Chains A and B, each alone.
Chain A
Amino acid sequence: MALRKPPLREAHAERGATFTEFGGWDMPVEFDSIRAEHTAVREAAGIFDVSHMGQVEVTGPDSETLMQRLTSNDVSALAPGDAQYGVITDEDGIILDDTVTYCLPESHPADYLFVPNAGHDEQMHRRWTTYRDDHGLDAVVENATDDTAMFAVQGPDAVDLAVDAFGGMLRDLSRFEATLATLREAECLVARTGYTGEDGVEVVCPAGAAEAVYEAFDAAEPCGLGARDTLRIEAGLLLSGQDFDPDENPRTPYEAGLGWTVKLDTEFVGRDALEAVEAAGIDEKFVGFRLLDRGVPRHGYDIVNRDGTIVGEVTSGTMSPTLGEPIGMGYVPTQYADPGTVVRVVVRGQQKRARVQPLPFLDQ
């Protein structure tokens, strides 16, 4: 199957990017070096092409009801211009994907935008339309992924750069707020959100405006998915399809440490199952850890206890560029989940001691 391409695929190649397949997309993984890109985001600003993220718009009299029924958080609490993180669960309360829901500013033609992960847009579009039809709701659901570009500009200087690009009103944007802004006649949605643990904005624009938006941030370091991964791990943020996955690693939001996105006083698919999980308590929990011995924890490595019995698996890990220490995350039985607990990660047959610690790894 041919890979999907972001609008700036060739422009990235000309800038010297190397590419990787991710969620069915051909995306830049590295421009200069992952470490240099990572450091730029922590110390100044970097720009990521995240056009592989899905963009699904929901409009109509029942748009709020539809969003409320299919995401775990309380969409009714959103005013126009608010954004909210939530998870999409099945009837059993298993996370299918996570998403940011944008209640769009009033001058935007659509009511809501939500952003499923790479390769999930068609599945979620189908889920939304099926639910709408089964429940006789009145809403238009449009998958705008292929007509849309999305960029994340992240780092301590990112908001200043966004002000330079779009104007001073962006300075008043609070965390998880979004506004419409114009750049060379292209209408963009600019939100103070991100996936790096740094301040910054995400910009959603028509595919035809991608070049203009990217060039407006030419003071930011071009960054690829490699740095996006190390940054989000340091920030303790989960990656859909890797830190949870309905097939490979089915998890409830409570296990994943995302219980705060579950509003049991709202009505949504999975609510009843999650109420039962919440009452019964969880057996396993998502934790962060730091290796005490030399080695690098990576996705799929076993976590064992003192006796060598397998108790869990690393879902994400890296050598932290900021801390200079090997860090990882994964699920362990709750008896091993308290900060300070020492478990072991098996690296090529050798047990490396790891100490459980609170997430995020970096103070924010």
Chain B
Amino acid sequence: MTFDVPDDCRYLETHEWAREQDGTVRVGISDFAQDELGDVVFVELPTEGDELAAEDAFGVVESIKAVSDLYSPVSGTVTAVNEALFDEPELVNQDPFGDGWMVELDAADPGEMDDLLSAEEYREQTG
């Protein structure tokens, strides 16, 4: 099975992705991660205004069979939370890089994006 690894995202070894768009950094979990977890049934996310440091645990995603921490790819302030996931956590399975996104951050240090894995490097890790 091959997993979707969009080139416009950068990745953490723990399977979170980060994508710069419209001056913010959007964060979610990868296609590989959602497949490993199985049916996502619950997502716990921070609230707007929370400050996160890179690689901080910022939330939890739970499938029927597993509980997994979410780690922030970069440092920053939470500017938006995908509250749709509270009612429809299955969006994480259905569209991990789209409607299944989790938080948006106002990045404190844009240079941190360069420390993350490129799509190619992440493909090697999961391939």
- Using a CB–CB distance below 8 Å, which chain A residues touch chain B? 29-30, 33-35, 226, 230, 294-296, 298, 318-319, 321, 326, 348
Closest 8 A/B residue pairs (Cβ): A319-B41, A35-B39, A34-B64, A296-B42, A296-B62, A226-B65, A33-B39, A34-B39
Q: Is B6 on the interface with A (CB-CB < 8 A)?
A: no
CB distance from A283 to the nearest CB of B (A): 31
B64–A318 CB distance below 8 A: yes
Whole-angstrom CA separation of A321 from B41 in the bound complex: 9
Whole-angstrom CA separation of A296 from B62 in the bound complex: 8
CB distance from A259 to the nearest CB of B (A): 31
Q: Which of A29, A33, A230, A294 contacts B42 (CB 8 A)?
A: A294
Q: Name the interface residues of B30-63: CB closer than 8 Å to any CB of A.
A: 38-39, 41-42, 44, 60, 62-63
Nearest residue, chain A, Cβ from B42: A296
A34–B60 CB distance below 8 A: no
Also in contact, A33 and B38, with CB within 8 A (given A226-B64, A348-B60): yes
**A residues near B42, Cβ cutoff 8 Å:** 294-296, 319, 326
Nearest residue, chain B, Cβ from A35: B39
A226–B41 CB distance below 8 A: no
A interface, by DSSP: helix, strand, loop or mixed? mixed
B86–A294 CB distance below 8 A: yes
Whole-angstrom CA separation of A30 from B44 in the bound complex: 24
Nearest residue, chain A, Cβ from B89: A319
Nearest residue, chain B, Cβ from A295: B42
Q: Is B108 on the interface with A (CB-CB < 8 A)?
A: no
**A residues near B84, Cβ cutoff 8 Å:** none
A30–B65 CB distance below 8 A: yes
**A residues near B44, Cβ cutoff 8 Å:** 294-295, 348
Also in contact, A230 and B86, with CB within 8 A (given A33-B38, A35-B39, A294-B42): no
Nearest residue, chain A, Cβ from B64: A34
Interface size class of chain B, counting residues whose CB lies under 8 Å from the partner chain: 10 to 19
**B residues near A230, Cβ cutoff 8 Å:** 64
A34–B62 CB distance below 8 A: no
Q: Mark B6-41, 1 if CB is under 8 A from A, else 0.
A: 000000000000000000000000000000001101
Instruction: Find the residue from B39, B44, B86 having the highest chain A CB count within 10 A.
Output: B39
**B residues near A348, Cβ cutoff 8 Å:** 44, 60
Whole-angstrom CA separation of A296 from B61 in the bound complex: 11
Nearest residue, chain A, Cβ from B62: A296
Instruction: Find the residue from A295, A319, A321 having the highest chain B CB count within 10 A.
Output: A319
Whole-angstrom CA separation of A298 from B86 in the bound complex: 19
**A residues near B63, Cβ cutoff 8 Å:** 34
Whole-angstrom CA separation of A321 from B67 in the bound complex: 16
Instruction: Find the residue from A30, A35, A226, A295 having the highest chain B CB count within 10 A.
Output: A35
**B residues near A30, Cβ cutoff 8 Å:** 38, 65
B64–A321 CB distance below 8 A: yes
A34–B86 CB distance below 8 A: no
30 A-B contacts, Cβ less than 8 Å apart? A29-B65, A30-B65, A33-B38, A33-B39, A34-B38, A34-B39, A34-B63, A34-B64, A34-B65, A35-B39, A35-B64, A226-B38, A226-B65, A230-B64, A294-B42, A294-B86, A295-B42, A295-B44, A296-B42, A296-B62, A296-B67, A298-B67, A318-B64, A319-B41, A319-B42, A319-B64, A321-B39, A321-B64, A326-B42, A348-B60
New A-B contacts (10) at CB < 8 Å, excluding given A298-B67, A318-B64: A29-B65, A33-B38, A33-B39, A34-B39, A34-B63, A226-B38, A294-B44, A319-B42, A319-B62, A326-B42
CB distance from B89 to the nearest CB of A (A): 9
Whole-angstrom CA separation of A33 from B94 in the bound complex: 13
Nearest residue, chain A, Cβ from B1: A16
Whole-angstrom CA separation of A298 from B63 in the bound complex: 12
CB distance from B19 to the nearest CB of A (A): 26
Whole-angstrom CA separation of A101 from B86 in the bound complex: 45
Nearest residue, chain B, Cβ from A227: B64
**A residues near B38, Cβ cutoff 8 Å:** 30, 33-34, 226
Whole-angstrom CA separation of A109 from B25 in the bound complex: 70
CB distance from A221 to the nearest CB of B (A): 15
Nearest residue, chain A, Cβ from B39: A35
CB distance from B66 to the nearest CB of A (A): 10
**B residues near A295, Cβ cutoff 8 Å:** 42, 44
**B residues near A296, Cβ cutoff 8 Å:** 41-42, 62, 67
